[in-house]
Amino acid sequence: MATGRGAKLWIWFGFVGVLGITVLGALLYRAPIGLDASAFPAGEWIQSVMLRFLPQLQNAIAAWVLFLGALLGLGLAGFFVGRTPKPDAGRRSFLQAASGTGVALGSVVLAGGLAAARGFLGWGEGGRGWSGVAEHISDGDIAFKHPE
């Protein structure tokens, strides 16, 4: 039974890793660009809902909402994937919850880490991540306004 459970977890974490670097990483790479809400799935709807809560919002927030929602969704799904089947009463139910929580946290860390590697370090983007831009954002040599 342990090999079946171990294989299931390997497959799950492989799925989480691929989803983290492809889908979540693409969202994290495109989020700071300042694209219009229509550039993201259901972006205009998300923007209209968020404007009800944050009327002063000026930039598209759909990428951030989709990123956080997908990351939390992976964590929740990981909780159910990681739980051991059919617990007995008492200590075993605690171990089942602890196992699910560990897989959930591992899923969030893996997907978030790979997404950050793509978005900020540029993995899969030819090394053109946002870390290089942020590194020079406060350099004194940058002209903030035209000299004339």
The answer to the question of residue 140 being in a domain is no
Helix, strand, or coil (residue 115): helix
Q: How far is CA 73 from CA 4, 61, 67, 129, in A?
A: 24, 18, 10, 25
The answer to the question of residue 148 being in a domain is no
The residue behind tokens 């992976």 is: 74
Report the pLDDT value the prediction gives residue 85, as an integer from 0 to 100: 67
Alpha-carbon span 135 to 89, nearest angstrom: 54
Q: Which residues of the chain have pLDDT under 50?
A: 1
Report the pLDDT value the prediction gives residue 17, as an integer from 0 to 100: 94
The answer to the question of residue 19 being in a domain is yes
**92-130 residues labelled b (16+ CB within 10 A) or e (exposed):** eeeebeebbeebbebbbebbbebbbbbbbbbbbeeeebb
The answer to the question of residue 49 being in a domain is yes
The answer to the question of residue 42 being in a domain is yes
The answer to the question of residue 60 being in a domain is yes
The answer to the question of residue 102 being in a domain is yes
Give me the number of domains the chain comprises.
1
Instruction: Give residue 71's domain range.
Output: 2-129
Report the pLDDT value the prediction gives residue 1, as an integer from 0 to 100: 44
